Amino acid sequence: MKNKELVSELAKRMEWTQQEVTDMMAALSSVVSAKLMDSDTVYFQGFGQFEVKKKDERITVNPVTGKRYLVPPKLAPVFKPGTTIKNKLKALKENE
C-alpha cells in the first residue's frame, strides 16, 4: 500500500478530508521522529512499538573484491509488532 492509498483509506474510514489525514500523518511522523531522536520508545496499543537500537560495529566483506571493511556502530530505528498484530497474522497464515 502506497502513501496515497493509505491516506485515501484513512480519509474514507474516518470521514475526514484527505488534507486533514495528510496533516495528521505528518504531525504523527514528526512526534514519533522527535521521540526516537530522544531515544524514547513509542508504543501504539494493539499495533506495536518503535524504538532505537544500537547496532554494534562489524566487519563485512565485499563479495566481488574480497576486501574487508569495518562498519562503524550506529543507531537504527526498530519496529516490534504487538501481540494483536502477531495473532492476526498467525491466524491469517493458518487459514492459507
**Does residue 75 form part of some domain?**
yes
The CATH number that applies at residue 19 is 4.10.520.10
**Does residue 62 form part of some domain?**
yes
- Cell output for 95: 487459514
Find residue 44's DSSP bridge partners: 48
Q: How far, in Å, CA of 15 to CA of 3, rounded?
A: 18
In tens, the pLDDT along 20-77 reads 999 999 999 999 999 999 999 999 998 999 999 999 999 999 999 999 999 999 999 9
Tell me whether strands 74-81 and 48-55 are parallel, antiparallel or unpaired: antiparallel
Place of cell 560495529: 57
What is this structure's pTM?
0.75
CA angle 30, 31, 36 (to 5 degrees): 100
**Does residue 96 form part of some domain?**
no
Closest Cα to residue 39, out of 25, 28, 29, 54?
54
pLDDT given for residue 96 in this prediction: 65
Model confidence band, residue 11 (pLDDT cutoffs 50, 70, 90): very high
**Does residue 67 form part of some domain?**
yes
Q: Which domain holds residue 38?
A: 3-84
Please, what is the angle between helix 3-14 and helix 18-37, to 10°? 110
**Does residue 32 form part of some domain?**
yes
**Does residue 68 form part of some domain?**
yes
Count of structural domains within the chain:
1
